[in-house]
């Protein structure tokens, strides 16, 4: 699967290779509005997962001179939480196929949703509810 080697952005239409340096990433996306959140973390608005326009966070590890190892989507919906969770889940399943049950968190239990995990050789994708900074839904693509 191509996703094991690169993360596809639909808009801008660019495939971002896993393991790319932060400097090369910025060059690759030249002309796009990229925000530096903190050292080793960049964020931009992009279209992904079959037409979903959403902020996407890119994490480079280690922080200094790091390589792209993680991509995250997260949101803290106030309404229609289950409907939104199931929409993201359906998009992920169209891309990745059916996943496996991931460990159920307290936040997921409270929201009535089932966390899911996909393992694709060197890529692990999780979709869950977390409560680190208040309850929020997140999808994590972790490479390596």
Q: How do residues 100-112 score in pLDDT, each as one tens digit? A: 988 766 667 777 7
Residue 107: per-residue pLDDT = 65
| Rounded Cα gap, residues 18 and 53, in angstroms | 21
Q: How do residues 35-81 score in pLDDT, each as one tens digit? A: 999 999 999 999 999 999 999 999 999 988 899 999 999 888 777 88
Tally of CA atoms within 13 A in the half-sphere of 80 that contains its CB: 5
Percent of all residues in the chain with a pLDDT value above 70, rounded to a whole number: 92
112: its two tokens: 């009535």
C-alpha distances (whole Å) from 68 to each of 37, 74, 76, 81, 101 are 15, 18, 25, 30, 26
Reference 117, options 91, 84, 92, 90; nearest CA is 92
pTM of the model: 0.91
């Amino acid at each position: 699967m191509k996703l094991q080697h690169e993360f596809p952005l639909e808009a801008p239409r660019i495939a971002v290779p896993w393991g790319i340096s932060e400097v090369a990433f910025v060059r690759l996306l030249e002309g796009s509005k990229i925000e530096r959140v903190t050292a080793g973390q960049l964020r931009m608005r992009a279209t992904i997962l079959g037409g979903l326009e959403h902020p996407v966070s890119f994490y480079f590890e280690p922080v200094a001179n790091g390589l792209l190892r993680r991509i995250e989507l997260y949101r803290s919906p106030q309404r229609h939480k289950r409907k939104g969770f199931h929409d993201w889940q359906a998009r992920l399943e169209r891309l990745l196929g059916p996943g496996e049950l991931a460990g159920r968190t307290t936040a997921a239990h409270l929201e009535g949703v089932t966390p899911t995990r996909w393992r694709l050789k060197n890529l692990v994708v999780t979709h869950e509810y977390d409560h680190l900074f208040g309850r929020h839904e997140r999808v994590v693509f972790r490479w390596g």
